[in-house]
Amino acid sequence: MNKSTGFTLIEVLITTLIFSFAILSLTQLQTFSSRYGHSASLHSIASLAASSLLEQMRANREAVLAGDYNLEQNSTLSSASNPANIALQQWLTQLSANLPEGQGSVSCDHTHFCKVTIFWRNRINTDIPLLSFSLSSQF
């Protein structure tokens, strides 16, 4: 009786099939990792943009108390060239350039509590079409 040595064709095919599934799973994992990494990057951009606007508002507290920084989502700014309007216009331009369909709003109440909210399009999970980030401060 001769003992056969080496691999049979069926063993090679099964090994190739298992290896193919493993590579396919790793590729899918890499794709998801890349998507969620990009989503985290967009959250960081929104956080920095909100912090930046709040710092500009702190530098111009009188305008904040006068309500010059109040801005509703999807509203247009007046053509006034006051510092608050210029800062808001630059901020909105930055949002639209750095976030997919980026928009923002600012609301300050009578207790001088201001909330900056940023919205952008979610490209990972279409069940939640808009993502948002909010940051608040009292002046």
Share of the chain above pLDDT 70, in %: 95
Q: Is residue 70 part of a domain?
A: yes
Domain span holding position 76: 61-139
More confident residue, 122 or 135: 135
Q: Is residue 90 part of a domain?
A: yes
Cα distances from 103 to residues 39, 88, 98, in angstroms, run: 16, 11, 10
Q: Is residue 67 part of a domain?
A: yes
Q: Is residue 104 part of a domain?
A: yes
Q: Are 91 and 97 in contact (CB under 8 A)?
A: no
Q: Is residue 26 part of a domain?
A: no
Domains in the chain, number? 1
Q: Is residue 99 part of a domain?
A: yes
Amino acid in position 105:
S
Q: Is residue 22 part of a domain?
A: no
pTM listed for this prediction: 0.76
Summarised one tens digit per residue, pLDDT across range 43-56 is 999 999 999 999 99
Q: Is residue 82 part of a domain?
A: yes
Start-to-end C-alpha separation, the chain: 92
